[in-house]
Structures are given as structure tokens and as C-alpha cells.
């Protein structure tokens, strides 16, 4: 798992962006937040852990969990 922080989060639209510890920016969708994070929303600046998955649109954060 990688770690980083939430750069932005749009709760109404259900997506945002994460900045990794290596300063890469990754897209994150509400469906990629781990079920243990309830309610399924993130806050800007929040520390998170996640896996990275590549698809046709590029890399994205999946299995996103709040880092305590």
C-alpha cells in the first residue's frame, strides 16, 4: 500500500484527487473507498493509504483507507 493525502474531494460528485508521498496525483472515486470508511467521503488534507490500479485512463487510487 502507498500513502498520501487528499488534495480535493467533491462529495456531491463522488470523486477527488490524492497526492502521493512521491508527489504524484491520482484520481479517486467514491466506489474505490474501502467499506470500512463510513460515511464514504474524504476530507481535503486527510492522510490516506491506498493501492494503485491502472486502467485506460491512467493510474487511480483504489482500496482507499484513512491513515490513523
pLDDT of residue 38: 82
Taking a C-beta distance cutoff of 8 angstroms, is the pair 33, 64 a contact?
Answer: yes
Q: What is the pTM of this model?
A: 0.91
Does 31 have pLDDT greater than 90? yes
Query: For residue 68, what pLDDT is reported?
Result: 73
Which grid coordinates belong to 68? Answer: 490513523
When pLDDT is averaged across residues 32-57 and rounded to a whole number, the result is: 93
Q: How far apart are CA 19 and CA 17, in angstroms?
A: 7
Domain count, the chain: 1
Please, which residues have CB within 8 angstroms of residue 39's CB and are 6 or more apart in sequence? none
Q: For residues 35 and 15, give the distance between their C-alpha atoms in angstroms, rounded to a whole number.
A: 16
Q: What integer is the mean pLDDT of 42-55?
A: 96
Rounded to an integer, the average pLDDT of 15-20 is: 97
pLDDT in the model for residue 67: 85
Q: In 3D, which of 54, 40, 36, 43 has the Cα closest to residue 18?
A: 43
Q: What CATH code is carried by the domain that includes residue 20? A: 2.40.50.140
Grid cell locating 21 = 508521498
**Residue 20 is part of which domain span?**
2-66
Amino acid at each position: 500500500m502507498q500513502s498520501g493525502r487528499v488534495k480535493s474531494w467533491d462529495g456531491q460528485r463522488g470523486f477527488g484527487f490524492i497526492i502521493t508521498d512521491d508527489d504524484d496525483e491520482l484520481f479517486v472515486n467514491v466506489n474505490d473507498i474501502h467499506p470500512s470508511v463510513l460515511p464514504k467521503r474524504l476530507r481535503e488534507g486527510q492522510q490516506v493509504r491506498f493501492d494503485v490500479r491502472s486502467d485506460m485512463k491512467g493510474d487511480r487510487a483504489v482500496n482507499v483507507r484513512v491513515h490513523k
